[in-house]
Structure 1
């Protein structure tokens, strides 16, 4: 089992690198996130509370699997991936709580509605706000803010601080932590909506 998991990890890393080289504006990093970063992200998003978690940019599915491991049995995970190859990898994960959707994060309100959801309890994003066109980043930030539940959380793990600038008009200033045990080191930005 450990050999199989190790083999899958190597394959995932190679796929990640290949997709990064083909689509550098869509894929955030050359290597998948470390378990230390994932632990910090899951805690910031309070995934263990359940409800609906939305994942933007799942890549090869490493974060998707980590979210599913932490998510309660009655929770749901809606994963949104623009890259068709990476979407197929996530779609193949066998978990009844997972809905894999191919599309853009900018379309988040329409995607939620299409799957019968009114709002997200948590949104987790690894998409690279620093490399996407500013107008796309601004639309994505507005879409996330529009879709958060009254006590919802938005967590973005990024190498750049541009996400904070783009989200400030919609969600205010974030709380920021840094995870050094990742390559590259990542900042974890967290917003929590309080009240209506």
Structure 2
């Protein structure tokens, strides 16, 4: 009986309890990365939703708009969703601010962050593919590049994509941090 109790006590002693500085850095990184992710994703969505340019070429009015591409629409919507979930996820992060939270809460935060990473990665990949075709064309399919004629449109799309990838990187960091915290916190 004595050895069984000492084994149980050793099991609890072997799990390190995070220091207040570690917990404080976790909270600060969660809050700031979520704010940066929300700001970059809302800016990326606004840039994408406002990317349009009209031009007269050879006597014909031509338009370049984000809404002409389903990939650009998907990208804009995924950034808007990521922004909304970034702001909403601040509430559970503040509730996790208690010093000794259950690890299942951190696991749910990890799942949330992973879901947003997947949505942002899909949106960024789709929009990057269409942007690459718009910039360079595809001679095998007979698609001509449009960025030579619609530079303003292409610059807005490029800026939106850069911000989208910054948001994706922030959420990737949040996913790693949340997974690490879920692994460390005692049940």
TM class by smaller structure: under 0.3
Larger relative helix fraction: 2
Larger Rg: 2
By relative contact order (CA 8 Å, sep 6+), the higher-ranking structure is 2
TM-score after normalising by structure 1 = 0.23
Larger relative strand fraction: 1
